[in-house]
Amino acid sequence: MALTDTDLAHLRRALALAAEALAAGDEPFGSVLVSGAGEVRAEARNEAGGGDHTRHPEFALARWAAAHLTPEERARATVCTSGEHCPMCAAAHGWTGLGRIVHAASAAQLAGWLAEWGLPPAPVAALPVTAVVPGALVEGPVPALTEEIRALHHRARVRP
Ligand SMILES: [Zn+2]
């Protein structure tokens, strides 16, 4: 399935949540869980600023979905997220049986930006989601949003 205008609108909300996270002293990542009918069911943003670096929005949404959605609802849901799931979150997504993923920036893009800015790589490998969840349906990155998401990460890591 190709990227739709609805996906793009949800991605813009994910980027707004990422900006909100950055403003609160967390890392600039945000995600929304969209039902098969196109409704936002849950939102989350990174909350790692307190020192727990597992507090990723995609992980939070997977756990929310496990608690609140049936397996069928989870399979029909889409997670729209500012940055591609890390391996931890991809695994949570896969174990929970969630559906499609749409990300604004890929893990490879983020890793490339860190290298470009002379920063050390993240401690967890920047694998594509499909390396962790082979059957995942993944769309992204989205060129129309690249500059915006790159600027958020630049502000977070280089020019606070
Ligand atoms: Zn993650």
Q: Write out pLDDT tens, residues 31-46.
A: 999 999 999 999 999 9
Contact, 160 vs 117, CB < 8 A? no
Q: Average pLDDT, stretch 4-30? A: 97
Instruction: Give the integer Cα–Cα distance in Å for 150 and 116.
Output: 12
For 65-99, what is each residue's pLDDT tens digit?
Answer: 999 999 999 999 999 999 999 999 999 999 999 99
- Show Cβ contacts of residue 15 under 8 Å, excluding neighbours closer than 6 positions: 30, 82, 104, 145, 148, 149, 152
**Largest Cα–Cα distance in the chain?**
44
Tell whether the model's pLDDT for residue 159 goes beyond 80: no
Task: Quote the ligand 1 centre to 37 CA distance (angstroms).
Answer: 25
The predicted structure's pLDDT at residue 79: 98
Task: Quote the ligand 1 centre to 27 CA distance (angstroms).
Answer: 11
Sheet containing 78-83: which strands, arranged edge to edge?
40-45, 30-34, 78-83, 100-105, 138-139
The predicted structure's pLDDT at residue 2: 84
pLDDT band at 160 (very low <50, low <70, confident <90, very high): low
Task: Quote the ligand 1 centre to 45 CA distance (angstroms).
Answer: 11
Task: Quote the ligand 1 centre to 91 CA distance (angstroms).
Answer: 9
Task: Quote the ligand 1 centre to 70 CA distance (angstroms).
Answer: 23
Task: Quote the ligand 1 centre to 1 CA distance (angstroms).
Answer: 24
The predicted structure's pLDDT at residue 1: 66
* Three-point CA angle 16, 22, 26, nearest 5°: 125
For 89-131, what is each residue's pLDDT tens digit?
Answer: 999 999 999 999 999 999 999 999 999 999 999 999 999 999 9
* Three-point CA angle 140, 81, 120, nearest 5°: 85
Task: Quote the ligand 1 centre to 36 CA distance (angstroms).
Answer: 23
